[in-house]
Amino acid sequence: GENVEQHPSTLSVQEGDSAVIKCTYSDSASNYFPWYKQELGKGPQLIIDIRSNVGEKKDQRIAVTLNKTAKHFSLHITETQPEDSAVYFCAASRGYSSASKIIFGSGTRLSIRP
């Protein structure tokens, strides 16, 4: 089955700097890669995703890149702000429709220093 590894487990950056979180996956059939943000006491919330036919996707200050050959993908947050402090999860699945079970990484706790 799919295995998703995520690094680092904790990350602290100065406000205004960039943060990068990296993930690798094992199942070459995976073609959908979402990223979730979890704030304290809440459930995870989808922030961005990428499908295997695209190498990069941006949404304002966040971007995700995908290297299918190497089976790794990354989340980039630029101009970090205090509200970016949260736990971030990468994930992978074989499809973006329902019934395609998503396998999650172990999470990265991002702290933004003022």
Partner 1 sequence: IAGITQAPTSQILAAGRRMTLRCTQDMRHNAMYWYRQDLGLGLRLIHYSNTAGTTGKGEVPDGYSVSRANTDDFPLTLASAVPSQTSVYFCASSDPGEDGYTFGSGTRLTVV
Site for partner 1 in 33-62 (CB under 8 A): 34, 36, 41-46, 49
Cβ atoms of residues 35 and 8 within 8 Å: no
Calculate the alpha carbon distances from 33 to 16, 36, 80, 110, 113 in Å: 26, 10, 22, 20, 28
**Closest Cα partner for 60 from 38, 81, 85?**
81
CB of 47: closest distance to partner 1 in angstroms? 9
Q: Which residue among 19, 73, 80, 105 contacts partner 1 (CB under 8 A)?
A: 105
CB of 16: closest distance to partner 1 in angstroms? 29
User: Where does this chain bind partner 1 (CB under 8 A)?
Assistant: 1, 6, 9, 34, 36, 41-46, 49, 89, 96-99, 101-107
